[in-house]
Amino acid sequence: MAKTLKDIKEDYPELMEELKAEILNKEAKVSAAVLRERTRLREIDEVSEFFDSATISEAKYGKDQCSAQELIYRTQVYEAAAMRYTKLFTEAMDQTRSWIDHDTIVHRADKTQ
């Protein structure tokens, strides 16, 4: 029975080659994942001037991590929704003013009669 690594290499050369190939494959996958993560963080850094630090931190390390592209998309969706709600609020306020003005005119007309 083999007692040292040298013995195992000599006794099981095919198994050692298979093991070596598997280790190299895993190393390549880890390296690719590290490169993707570094690229994601670098791309977020490149657009960081347009966002506050809390938003950048959340995109990089938070629960809902995302790419720079996703960060920009989320921001655009949020801003579009904010603009819609602002428009609706403004329209509601204008309608309320219209009702107040109408009631004021009617109330004044009632007093003059």
Residues in the chain: 113
Angle at 95 between CA 89 and CA 101, to 5 degrees: 135
Whole-angstrom distance, CA of residue 104 vs CA of residue 99: 8
pLDDT at residue 81, as a whole number = 83
Would you call 59 exposed, middle or buried from its count of C-beta atoms within 10 A (0-12, 13-18, 19+)? buried
Interatomic CA distance for residues 78 and 68, integer angstroms: 15
Given this model, what pLDDT does residue 99 score? Answer: 77
Prediction pTM value = 0.60
Q: Where are the domains positioned within the chain?
A: 10-112
pLDDT by residue for the chain (113 residues), tens only, comes to 668 888 888 889 999 999 999 999 999 999 999 999 999 999 999 999 999 999 999 999 999 999 999 999 988 888 888 888 888 888 888 888 887 766 666 566 556 55
